[in-house]
Structures are given as C-alpha cells and as structure tokens.
Structure 1
Amino acid sequence: MKINKLSIIIPAYNEGRTIHLILNKIKAVELIDDIQKEVIIINDCSKDDTEEAILRYQQENSDLNIQYFKHEKNAGKGAALHTGISKATGDYLIIQDADLEYDPEEYNDLLKPICKGFADVVYGSRFMGANPHRILFFWHTIGNRWLTFFSNMFSNMNLTDMETCYKLFDRKLIQSISLSEKRFGFEPEVTIKLSRIPNLRLYEVGISYYGRTYEEGKKIGWKDGFRAIWCILKYGMFKAK
C-alpha cells in the first residue's frame, strides 16, 4: 500500500526540557518508501517554556513540517490528541509522546504491516520482542498488563499492550470514531471502539521502551489507572458511545 504522508501527533505538557530532543529524533528518521512527515504539536497549556522551545525549534528547522496548536486551558492528554487527530492530513497518523520514552527510529517497524497491505492499525508493544526495555516500576508494569487483560476481555482481542503510546492509525478511520475521553482514558476508549469495527486488521509489533521516573517527568499515576478501569467498563460492558 502506498503511503504519501505520515502525521505525527505530539501532545505536550511541561516538556520544555525534551521537546527539541524528540523533534531532532523525528527529523532524523528517514521513513520507508519516501513517506513525508507532518508533525502536529498540541501544547496543553504548559506552565514551563514548552511554547518557547517549540516556536524556537520551528523557526530554526523550517525543513521539518511542524504545525503548532495551543490549548488556552489544560484539558488533558486525550483532549490534546483529539485536537491533533482533527488537524491531521496524512494518510496515516501515529501518536508520539513529547518525552524520550519512545524511539521514532521504530516508526518504520510500525509502518511495515501497513505498507505490506496487512494492517489498518498497528500498536507498538513494550512487552513483546527483544527490544530494549528500561527496568523501572514492578506495580506499574503489573497494572499495565492487568488493564490490557481486562480490556481484552471486553474487546475480545489478544493485545499485549493496550496502554502503549505508539498507536498507528489510518487517518480517515480514526477521524471517523467519536472520542470522548479527555485524559489517559483515551487508550481503553479507542481500543474498545476499534474492536467493534467489522473486519478491522489490528497488528502489534515489538518496540523499545526508555521509561522515565516520576522525578524525570512521568505523569501517569494510580488515579489514571482507576479511570482506565472505569473506561473499560463504560465502553466495554455498558457500550457507551
């Protein structure tokens, strides 16, 4: 399958220290089949110098197609993704966190099942394959695996990593789905709603994971885990739209 352009959606909140580093990595990646890159950054009302860092990078790197949008009030990661998805113009789009936990060099690994005509959606799994994986929090890992298992019960899929950041979508497909969750509930909501699409071809590929500690800026916490459980019940058991 021929893909002309990939939209890279980056929600950013207080990522002034690392946003230029992840943009450097994205810029350096040469995508397979000469696919062009469209970078869409959504600043979710950061309180640090995220905006200044983005605008400075945009000015100094005009050869990278960067579209910048800003929320006037902090609305959450899911809300930032809603904005980014609505603005995307690529054939496909991928979600990229503004930190350095995920490696853009692996975009091509996720694109291959699409380009070969096998998949409509590809998730990057931190829990399969022989890729590097930083050793961090035991209970956080158990929580991720349990949430994936719980989600699989209602979606009737066999994913290994529902909570992964790296999700690669057919742009028209994801824009056609009504999404409601404003924070980290985006992950179970979109996964369960995808599972209801007839004949959808969803693949997983193994990816690396260079996780951060909370001191290094990690934001997701136990409250988000409970919200994810509620979202799985809401969209899985009660079939909320």
Structure 2
Amino acid sequence: MTTKDVSVAGRAPHGHERRGLLAEGPLLSVIVPVYNEAGTIDEVLRRVVAAPYEKQLIVVDDASTDGTGKRLEKWQGHPGVVLLRHVENRGKGAAIRTGLRHAEGRFTIIQDADLEYDPADYPKLIEPLRSGQAAVVYGSRRLGRPVGWGDVVNPFYHGVTLLNLCVRLLYGARITDEATCYKAFRTDVLRAMELECERFEFCPEVTGKACRMGHKIVEVPISYRGRSLREGKKIRLRDGVQALRTLWKWRRWKTGAQWRWRSIRDWPDGSRLCAP
C-alpha cells in the first residue's frame, strides 16, 4: 500500500501509463473520500474489500480531525489499498479528483464512508458497464420503492426531486436520483470529464458533463440507509443551492474532451461510448 501526503505527492501517471494500467490493472477502482468518519470507516472498508470483483481501494483522507487517520493506519500494507491524505480540508470533490489520479481500474465507483450505501450492490452497478450497455451508471435510492410518509416530510427528498427536474429541463435526461453517492463510470470516461469540483458539486458536475458528452445515464435500484444531521450527515441547504448552480454552469460545456472521446469510442472488447 502507498501512503501519500498528496500536497507533496509524486506525479500522477501520464496518459500512456494510464492506458497500460487500464488494460492490465484491476477491473474496479473504488474511491472513498473520507472526512471525520472514525466511527464507520473500518466497517465501510471491510465491506468494500468483501465485495465482488478484483479491485483497487483508494482512500482519500480529507484532513480528518477526529481520529480517522489513526483508524486508517491499520490498513497500511493491505493488498490493493492506496491511502492518500490532504494536509488541509478541501472537500469531497477535491478528494475524488485526487483519488482518480491514482485509479488503475477499468471502472471506477465512488463510495461514501458513512455506511449509508452498501458495497454488496456493486454487481448491480458494474454489470451494465461490463456488458457495454452504459458508460455511466447511477444507483438509485428511489427505483423499486414506494414513496412513504418519511419521504414526504424529508426536505432532502424534495431537494433531490428538484435536482432531477433541473436535469430534465437543462439536459433532457430523465433520472430519478441525481444526488446518489453510488455513481459508477468507465474510468476513461470519468477522466475525460476534466473535473473541477471541490466539494459536493461533484454530483451535478458529472451529471451535466455525462449528458453533454452524449451518455445515457443508466440507473439501477440500490439499498440505502440514510442518516440524520444529528448522526453526522454533512449535506446542507447551501450544498443544494450550489448543486443547482453547477447544473446550470455546465449546461453548455464543450471542451476538447467531448469531441476527442467521440473519435475513440470503441473499447477493445467491443463495448462503445455513446456518441454525442
């Protein structure tokens, strides 16, 4: 395992090195951004390790102050685990971007460190990628379950509904859970998005850019155990407002990545990127 202070860490792999890693490395890279989750991080990592597929586990400690770093020390030397650390708190999006620079897997999943999401659902997320059905897969907390009274009185539920509506209006895409943590990607596609996010705007940025690149976002039902603000949930109203701004920001995104990946949308096994 590698432990790095990423503010002074060595360079990420160059493009030709990444292609080699993706061809020869593990099937899956799991990026775990973590900030002050000492009470749950051990169990989350145990569940990730126990999940199916050959995988690389990348944990990015975003300058935790509650002893999370101490908990992570026991994972030093564990096969397939990479530990990275920010010297100052930069946010979830920045942690994901740091982890992505070290990803060696063909596919990448984002995993929160709070036990709200179960790694046992990985096969549901990965199979549409492996089959070539999709390059972007979201695990939806809403598919396959009825709306209950708890949803009606939950402001987070209505916030997600608003985000879903904005995605439909701005990008013409119908999804049921824009804000889900469980997002899985072909790693090359995620890198082509050239992410800029720092905090919780990771989700709307990848949603907007996936749509602009012409990818259909495939959703699969997942299990979910939500926690309250009192239990440590970190999302706040300001993050919802920022998500709306981010969706608006990327509605006209056109970088070289969008057109560069159009011309090489074939994968060696025959699967394809969706053309813009």
Structure 1-normalised TM-score? Answer: 0.89
- Please give the residue correspondences for 1:89-128 in structure 2 after superposition, counting only pairs within 5 Å: 89-128=104-143
CA gap 1:24/1:169 in 2 versus in 1, 3 angstroms:
same
- Name 1:45's counterpart in structure 2: 63
Identical residues among aligned pairs (%)? 38
CA contact (8 A) 1:123 1:166 kept: yes
More moved, 143-152 vs 72-81:
143-152
CA distance in structure 1 between the aligned counterparts of 2:81 and 2:149, rounded to whole angstroms: 30
More moved, 72-81 vs 116-125:
116-125
- Name 2:14's counterpart in structure 1: none
1:213 aligns with 2:213: no
Supply the AA of the counterpart residue of 1:70.
Answer: R
Count of aligned pairs between the two proteins: 230
Deviation string 1:191-232 (CA, Å, 9 cap, x unpaired) is: 11111114x243100111101111111000001011111111
CA contact (8 A) 2:129 2:185 kept: no
CA distance in structure 2 between the aligned counterparts of 1:41 and 1:4, rounded to whole angstroms: 16
More moved, 175-184 vs 159-168:
175-184
Deviation string 1:160-194 (CA, Å, 9 cap, x unpaired) is: 11111000000111112111120111111111111
CA distance in structure 2 between the aligned counterparts of 1:38 and 1:142, rounded to whole angstroms: 35
SS of alignment partner, residue 204 of structure 1: strand
SS of alignment partner, residue 67 of structure 1: strand
SS of alignment partner, residue 59 of structure 2: strand
Deviation string 1:61-101 (CA, Å, 9 cap, x unpaired) is: x24x1100001111011110111111101000000001100
Query: Greater RCO between the two (CA within 8 Å, min separation 6)?
Result: 1
CA gap 1:120/1:134 in 2 versus in 1, 3 angstroms:
farther
CA distance in structure 2 between the aligned counterparts of 1:194 and 1:84, rounded to whole angstroms: 19
Structure 2-normalised TM-score? Answer: 0.78
Supply the AA of the counterpart residue of 1:191.
Answer: T
CA distance in structure 2 between the aligned counterparts of 1:75 and 1:67, rounded to whole angstroms: 19
CA gap 1:135/1:107 in 2 versus in 1, 3 angstroms:
farther
- Please give the residue correspondences for 1:10-159 in structure 2 after superposition, counting only pairs within 5 Å: 10-29=32-51, 31=52, 35-59=53-77, 62-63=78-79, 65-130=80-145, 135=150, 138-159=154-175
Supply the AA of the counterpart residue of 1:46.
Answer: S
Deviation string 1:109-167 (CA, Å, 9 cap, x unpaired) is: 11121222211111001111249x99476111001111121122112110111111000
CA gap 1:234/1:240 in 2 versus in 1, 3 angstroms:
farther
- Name 1:197's counterpart in structure 2: 213
- Name 2:195's counterpart in structure 1: 179
CA contact (8 A) 1:8 1:94 kept: yes
Structure 1, unmatched stretches of 5+, are none
Deviation at 1:240, TM superposition (A): 7.9
CA contact (8 A) 2:167 2:174 kept: no
CA distance in structure 2 between the aligned counterparts of 1:69 and 1:151, rounded to whole angstroms: 33
CA distance in structure 2 between the aligned counterparts of 1:116 and 1:225, rounded to whole angstroms: 34
Q: Which has the larger radius of gyration?
A: 2
- Name 1:226's counterpart in structure 2: 241
Supply the AA of the counterpart residue of 1:212.
Answer: R
CA contact (8 A) 2:175 2:217 kept: no
CA distance in structure 2 between the aligned counterparts of 1:217 and 1:5, rounded to whole angstroms: 32
SS of alignment partner, residue 232 of structure 2: coil
SS of alignment partner, residue 80 of structure 1: helix
RMSD, aligned α-carbons: 2.2
CA gap 1:118/1:240 in 2 versus in 1, 3 angstroms:
closer
